[in-house]
Amino acid sequence: MGFTEAGAAGRPGGRRAAGRQPSNHLPAPDHTLLEGRGPRARSIGDSRGMPNAMTDQPSDRALADRVVSDGDEAAFQALYLRHTPNVYRFALRLTGGDVLEAEDLMQDAWINAAHGLSRFEWRSEFRTWLMGIALNRFREKARAGGRRIPTVEGEWDVPVETGEPGERIDLERAIALLPPGFRAVLVLHDVEGFTHREIGERLGISDGTSKSQLHEARMAMRRLLAGERRTA
């Protein structure tokens, strides 16, 4: 299968010659789309990729089959537009609100998905598979940069830079302030719906560690949202 950069970006583009690899350059993110705003975002089916009764959109699998069998760029574009807002938000939360890193992560996830689509066995939803790719790329980038997603032992101190005592912060900022280990487990479990077994497999930790990190992450979120802070 192959996708021209023009086709992926929503401009007219013909099918590539047989045997050509997908482009490694996807379109720059449209932030009205990423934030779930704008006409393109509204015209797409639901985030789970099932046919939408109001828009009569094809399922993810139907689109993917067209991509794999025919190299259909319009079908790939439809998948890209349908799932990019969720992938971007997921990446933004994983990276603690780092916009540039989240955009890079999202692009990497789509490039890997384009190359691996013919091997996807549909044992999970397309969205779940795509999130897993993004998470793997996040971990790979962390390891390459000499970082890791650490677990946190014991109670976590709320950072001094949170703000004035009693000052409330919004949910996204609270997630961004969490330690990476707390943040990853919280986002995967409470936002994306992964099980502790799935989280353990993806993060290389035990089910029990995932459960304890989630408990501590929720406690930390309560403290952050309540406006608690550590004194300097």
Let me know whether 172 and 79 are in one domain.
no
> For the segment 115-172, what is each residue's pLDDT rounded down to a tens digit?
999 999 999 899 999 999 999 998 888 777 666 555 555 554 555 454 555 555 688 8
Which 8-state DSSP code applies to residue 189?
Answer: I
Alpha carbons within 13 A on the beta-carbon side of 59: 7
Let me know whether 138 and 212 are in one domain.
no
* 18 burial type by CB count under 10 A (0-12 exposed, 13-18 middle, 19+ buried): exposed
> For the segment 68-118, what is each residue's pLDDT rounded down to a tens digit?
999 999 999 999 999 999 999 999 999 989 999 999 999 999 999 999 999
Residues spanned by the domain of 33: 5-144
Q: Are 79 and 67 in contact (CB under 8 A)?
A: yes
Residue 121 included in any domain: yes
Q: Is the pTM of this model over 0.85?
A: no
Let me know whether 207 and 131 are in one domain.
no
CATH number for position 208: 1.10.10.10
CA pair distance 118, 64, nearest whole angstrom: 8
Let me know whether 28 and 58 are in one domain.
yes
CB proximity list for 66: less than 8 A, separation 6 or greater: 72, 75
Pick from 92, 80, 90, 89: nearest CA to 41: 80
Residue 232 included in any domain: no
Tally of structural domains, the chain: 2
Residue 204 included in any domain: yes
CB proximity list for 1: less than 8 A, separation 6 or greater: 22, 67, 68, 71, 114, 117, 118
Residue 47 included in any domain: yes
Let me know whether 87 and 24 are in one domain.
yes
CATH number for position 37: 1.10.1740.10
